[in-house]
Amino acid sequence: MAFSELNERERQVLEAVIQAYVATAEPAGSRVLSRRFALGVSPATIRNTMSDLEEKGFLYHPHTSAGRIPTDKAYRVYVDSLMRIESISAQEREQLAAQISAGGSAIEAILRCAAQSLGVLTQELGIALGPRLDRAILQRIELVRVSAERILMVLTLGGGAVRTIFVEVPGTIADEALAEVTVVLNERLSGLTLDEVRTSLGARLRDVPGSVNATALLNIFVQEGEQVFARAVSPSDSVVLGQASLLAEQPEFSTGERMRQLIELTERRQELTTLLQSRGGVPGLSITIGNEHTDPGLDAFTVVTAEYQAGSLSGVIGVIGPTRMPYHKIVSIVSHTSQLVTELLS
C-alpha cells in the first residue's frame, strides 16, 4: 500500500502540498508550505522531503516551476488515509433539500435537480444515472395498437416507474388477440423482475393455448422476447448532467485543449452510462482518480459517486471534476445528496 511507503513527516508534507494545490491551483513551494502550515521544520527540510516524495511518485515538477503538484497516486493516498472529511453544513443541507424537492416527485425530475444542485454546490459537473431496471418488479403489462404493424407495450414497474417499448408485428393483429395475449403476459410474467422476464420469457410462453391470432403474437414474444425486454432494461438516455459551464470556469480548463476534453466528456453519454453502471451495487462512496479509469478520456478527471435507492431499485449520483478537487468537502456533499434522493424516492 502506498501509505506505508511514507514516514510521518512525508505524510504531513504531502497533505500540506495537496491542500495548498487544491486551494490555489498553483504548484506548492517549500516556503509557501512553511508559512501556511505548522509543519515544525524549516523550508529546507520541507524541500528535501518534497524531493523524496517526488522520487516515490507522489509529486512532480510542472515545467521549470520550483513548486510541486500532487500525482494521482498522491490523491489516492490522501483520500484513503490522510483526508479529514468536512461535514456538510446546515445551510448546505437546507439548500440541497429545497432545490432537489422543487422538481416534484418524478424520478427523472428529482435526478435532474439533484445533478444541477450538486454542480452548483461543489462547482463540479453533477451527474446521475437512473435506476437499474433489470431488478425492477413487473406489475402490469398493457398492449396498445399504434399502427397496423406496430404495438406499444407499456410496462408498469414496482416503485411507480413506467417503461414503453415498440414491438413490430407482421400484419394486423385483431383486438381480441391483443386482449388475449395481454391476459397471458400478465398471468405468466407479473411479479418477476425484468431480468427474470428477459431470460425466461420463451420458456414461460411456450405451449400456451389460444386462438390462431393470439398464438401468432405470442410466438413473436417467444422468438424476440429477449431482445424486446433487453431494450426495457437498457438505461438509454438516463444519464443526467448538471451545468458543464460551472466546471469550465476552473483553472484546469483555461486552455483550448483542456476545454476540448471537457466538451468531449459531456458528449460521450454512452461511455458515461457505462461508467456509472459499473459503480451500481457498490455500498458507500466510489472514488476513481485520473489514470485509475480504464477510459483514457477520463485521465484528467476524478469521479465521486454514491448509490441511491428507489424502492427495490438503485441508481448512482455524484460529480465529475479535475483531479484537483476539495475531496474533504465533496465526499460529504455527495454522500448526503444520495441519502436525500433516497428519502425523496421512498
Q: What is the pLDDT of residues 280-338, one digit of tens each?
A: 777 789 999 999 998 888 999 999 999 998 777 788 999 999 999 999 999 999 999 99
> Cell numbers 452510462 label which residue?
273
Confidence tier at 159 by pLDDT (50, 70, 90)? low
Which of the listed ranges 145-149, 176-180, 229-233 does the model predict with the highest average pLDDT? Answer: 176-180
C-alpha cell at 251: 483553472
pLDDT at 211: 65
% of the chain beyond a pLDDT of 90:
44
Q: How many CB atoms lie within 10 A of CB 26?
A: 14
With a cut of 80, say whether residue 268 has pLDDT above it.
Answer: yes
What average pLDDT does this structure show over 136-144?
89
* Residue 164 Ramachandran class (φ > 0 left, ψ -120 to 50 alpha, else beta): beta
Confidence tier at 89 by pLDDT (50, 70, 90)? very high
Name the residue among 270, 271, 285 with its Cα closest to residue 316: 285
Which of the listed ranges 129-143, 169-183, 315-329 does the model predict with the highest average pLDDT? Answer: 315-329
Q: How many residues does the chain have?
A: 346
Q: Which helix (H) or strand (E) holds 226?
A: helix 212-233
The structural domains of the chain, with segments of one domain joined by +, span 2-82, 90-131+238-345, 138-233
With a cut of 90, say whether residue 17 has pLDDT above it.
Answer: yes
Maximum C-alpha span of the chain = 90
* Separation of alpha carbons 187 and 184, rounded Å: 5
Q: Are strands 138-147 and 150-157 parallel, antiparallel or unpaired?
A: antiparallel
C-alpha cell at 267: 458528449
CATH of domain 90-131+238-345: 3.30.450.40
Point out the least confidently predicted range of 45-49, 63-67, 155-159, 328-332: 63-67
Q: Mind giving me the DSSP string for 114-141?
A: HHHHHHHHHSSEEEEEPPP-TTPBEEEE
pTM as predicted: 0.80
Point out the least confidently predicted range of 155-169, 227-241, 279-293: 227-241
The class (CATH top level) of 2-82 is mainly alpha
pLDDT at 140: 92
DSSP 8-state symbol, 208? -
Confidence tier at 236 by pLDDT (50, 70, 90)? very low
At 142 the three-state DSSP class reads strand
- 150-157, strands of its sheet edge to edge: 138-147, 150-157, 162-168
Considering only residues 191 and 169, tell me which one the structure prediction assigns the higher pLDDT: 191
Q: What stretches of 69-109 adopt beta strand conformation (E)?
A: 69-70
The fold of 138-233 is Enolase-like; domain 1 (3.30.390)
Name the residue among 344, 277, 338 with its Cα closest to residue 307: 338
* Separation of alpha carbons 102 and 31, rounded Å: 48
With a cut of 90, say whether residue 57 has pLDDT above it.
Answer: yes
User: Phi, psi (5° rounding) for residue 16?
Assistant: -65, -40
At 100 the three-state DSSP class reads helix
pLDDT at 194: 86
What average pLDDT does this structure show over 189-203?
87
* Residue 175 Ramachandran class (φ > 0 left, ψ -120 to 50 alpha, else beta): alpha
DSSP 8-state symbol, 78? I
Point out the least confidently predicted range of 18-22, 83-87, 341-345: 341-345
With a cut of 60, say whether residue 120 has pLDDT above it.
Answer: yes
pLDDT at 219: 83
pLDDT at 106: 73
| Interacting residues of 27 by C-beta distance below 8 A, sequence separation 6+ | 21, 61, 62, 65, 66, 67, 68, 69
At 34 the three-state DSSP class reads helix
Name the residue among 206, 205, 187, 199 with its Cα closest to residue 227: 199
- Name 129's bridge partners: 239, 316
Q: Which helix (H) or strand (E) holds 152?
A: strand 150-157
pLDDT at 221: 82
* Whole-number average pLDDT of the chain: 87
Write the pLDDT tens digit of every residue in 210-221: 666 678 888 888
pLDDT at 210: 64
